[in-house]
Every structure is written in C-alpha cells, then in structure tokens.
Amino acid sequence: ETGVTQTPRHLVMGMTNKKSLKCEQHLGHNAMYWYKQSAKKPLELMFVYNFKEQTENNSVPSRFSPECPNSSHLFLHLHTLQPEDSALYLCASSHGTSESYEQYFGPGTRLTVT
Amino acid sequence: RKEVEQDPGPFNVPEGATVAFNCTYSNSASQSFFWYRQDCRKEPKLLMSVYSSGNEDGRFTAQLNRASQYISLLIRDSKLSDSATYLCVVNKAWDSNYQLIWGAGTKLIIKP
C-alpha cells in the first residue's frame, strides 16, 4: 500500500546538520500529522495540520519545524537536533481531524542523531 | 497515572488459543476508543474501533467498560499472523477533538 509515503526511510545526522523529512499522501485527505515514536514509548503527537493550517503544536522544541505547502504534502525540517531526538518519525493523514476518522500512517523515517 | 496504560507483555500464546488484553484510560470524559495493530518495524494500522455496546469483527472482539475505564481486546483462534503489537488509543475529550492519546502497546507473540 502506498497511500502515505515518507522519505527518507532512514536518516543519520549529526547534531549540527540540517535535514528535512518528507511525507506525501495520495488519499485525498485534509488532515496530516507528525508523530514521534521512541522505543517502548507511546506515540507522541507533534503537529497537526488541517487544510494546510497548523492546528496543534504539542510543545515541540523549535529545532523541529513543520511545513505544509498543500493538503498532500508535509515536511518536518530538522536542525541542531539532540541524541534523544533519535526515534521513528511517523506521518499520518485522515479525512478530517475528528477523532472518528481513521488515521493512515506512512512507513516512517528512522532517525539517528549522532 | 498514565493517560492510557497497557501491559507491555510480551504475551506468548500457542496458535489456536484465545488471548485477551486490557487497556485502562484516565479521562472519564473520553468518547472514542480504538485498537491499532503495529507489526515489527512497520506503521500502525487501525484494527477496530470500540463501541459502547461492544463489537466483533471475525475473531476479534472489543469491549468497553466505562465504569472501570478500560477497554479490552479478545482474539479467538489465534494465528501466527496475529503476532504484533496492539496499541490502545483514546481521544482526549476535554481539550481538542482530534487529540488521540496512544498507549505504548502490548506485544503479542503467537507460537506454532
């Protein structure tokens, strides 16, 4: 299934690097999300976009900067990350932002910060 | 107390057996509940929503107990392919209607 795609699938970066994660959804959805998943921890919601407008920022450090140019694309710009930021970053989309809508996830980007 | 709490497992179960696990949630005002499944190194996928009256989908049965604030998932006649981590998800009703709170998951291993 390729409803939600993410690139790159794996990323290793130093603490002084700048990189971007990309997410694209082909489902015609209006809402997109960034989640962080650390080992043995629950998914942590980072950002929510609905119709390209950011509607949620869960106290995420400014070293993570989201961008949503249209309803199909979502980016997460990374700069001066810390080793504790190493995790699986998952993008998801849904028809809308009501909790009754199923969220469809991309395969994730496994990020390692050295 | 965690907002959504699950036994991390792993639950080691022989093929064909019945297995059940629970998830407790802290917010009594929560209205929407889900079970997602996540295979190893894959993304989560919706398994089923949980309705007030309980619901069944093939070998899977989900129950909601509002009084005790837990939801359960029962898997009958388990298959090897059921091996995965099962994530309990609850909406954060008092804040915004799209804030889903995720449990850390229960790992299930079905053995031949």
CB B44 within 8 A of CB B34: no
Residue A58, pLDDT score: 76
Strands A87-94 and A31-37: antiparallel
Residue B95: pLDDT band with limits 50, 70, 90? low
Residue A100, pLDDT score: 67
Q: Do A40 and B8 count as a contact with CB atoms less than 8 A apart?
A: yes
Residue A40, pLDDT score: 82
pLDDT single digits (tens) A31-88: 999 999 998 889 999 999 988 888 777 789 999 999 999 999 999 999 999 999 999 9
Sign of the four-CA dihedral B22, A40, B45, A69: positive
CB B82 within 8 A of CB B37: no
Across the A:B interface, residue pairs with CB atoms under 8 Å apart total 49
CB A43 within 8 A of CB A25: no
Residues in B closer than 8 angstroms to A106, CB to CB, are: 43
Q: Which residues contact A8 (CB under 8 A, 6 or more apart)?
A: A21, A109
Q: Which two tokens stand for residue A37?
A: 């998943």
Buried b (16+ CB within 10 A) or exposed e, A72-98: bbbbbebeebeeebbbbbbbbbbeebe
Decide: residue B1, CB within 10 A, 0-12 exposed, 13-18 middle, 19+ buried. exposed
Residue B49: count other Cβ atoms within 10 Å of its Cβ.
16
Of A40, A102, A106, the CB nearest to B104: A40
Residues in A closer than 8 angstroms to B87, CB to CB, are: 42-43
pLDDT single digits (tens) A19-38: 999 999 999 999 999 999 99
Q: Do B98 and A31 count as a contact with CB atoms less than 8 A apart?
A: yes
Q: Do B102 and A55 count as a contact with CB atoms less than 8 A apart?
A: no
Residues from A contacting B (CB-CB < 8 Å) are: 31, 40-45, 48, 50, 55-56, 90, 97-100, 102-103, 105-108
DSSP assignment of A3-68 equals SEEEE-SEEEE-TT-EEEEEEEE-S--SEEEEEEE-TTS--EEEEEEETTEEEEE-S--TTEEEEE
Nearest CA distance, B33 vs chain A (angstrom)? 9
Q: Do A105 and B91 count as a contact with CB atoms less than 8 A apart?
A: no
User: Which one of B98, B101, B106, B107 would you mutate to disrupt binding with A, by most A Cβ within 10 Å of its Cβ?
Assistant: B98
First to last CA, chain B: 37
- Residue A98: pLDDT over 60: yes
Decide: residue A37, CB within 10 A, 0-12 exposed, 13-18 middle, 19+ buried. buried
Q: What length is written for chain A?
A: 114
